[in-house]
């Protein structure tokens, strides 16, 4: 078993078409935050859990060991879990 889980982004209590794949809900939330979402609710497929996060992004300098093609400033996501709701 690969351990992949599918998380559907919810907005206004309804599912959207965006699905993020990750082993942990935090990984999916980081992907959503990178795409500009700040109030993140992720419904885990196959369960009745909705993972809630607040997210933000910041422009930071690229790492010293980063590849040459990477721009000088990159987006870095940050999320904080606010809780789990059950449907």
> By the 8 A CB rule, do 56 and 33 touch?
yes
CA-wise closest residue to 50 among 17, 13, 23, 77: 13
C-beta of residue 32 within 8 angstroms of C-beta of residue 81: no
Q: What is the pTM of this model?
A: 0.89
pLDDT digits (tens, 9 = 90+) for 19-71: 999 999 999 999 999 999 999 999 999 999 999 999 999 999 999 999 999 99
CB 7 within 8 A of CB 46: no
Q: What is the CA radius of gyration of the chain?
A: 14
CB 42 within 8 Å of CB 19: no
Question: What average pLDDT does the segment 76-86 reach?
Answer: 96
């Amino acid at each position: 078993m690969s351990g992949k889980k599918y998380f559907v982004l919810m907005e206004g209590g309804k599912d959207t078409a965006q699905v993020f794949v990750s082993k942990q809900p935090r990984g999916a939330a980081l992907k959503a935050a990178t795409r500009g979402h700040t109030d993140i609710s992720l419904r885990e497929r196959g369960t009745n859990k909705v993972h809630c996060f607040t997210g933000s992004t910041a422009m930071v300098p690229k790492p010293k060991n980063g590849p040459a093609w990477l721009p000088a400033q990159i987006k870095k996501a940050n999320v904080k879990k606010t809780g789990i709701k059950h449907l």
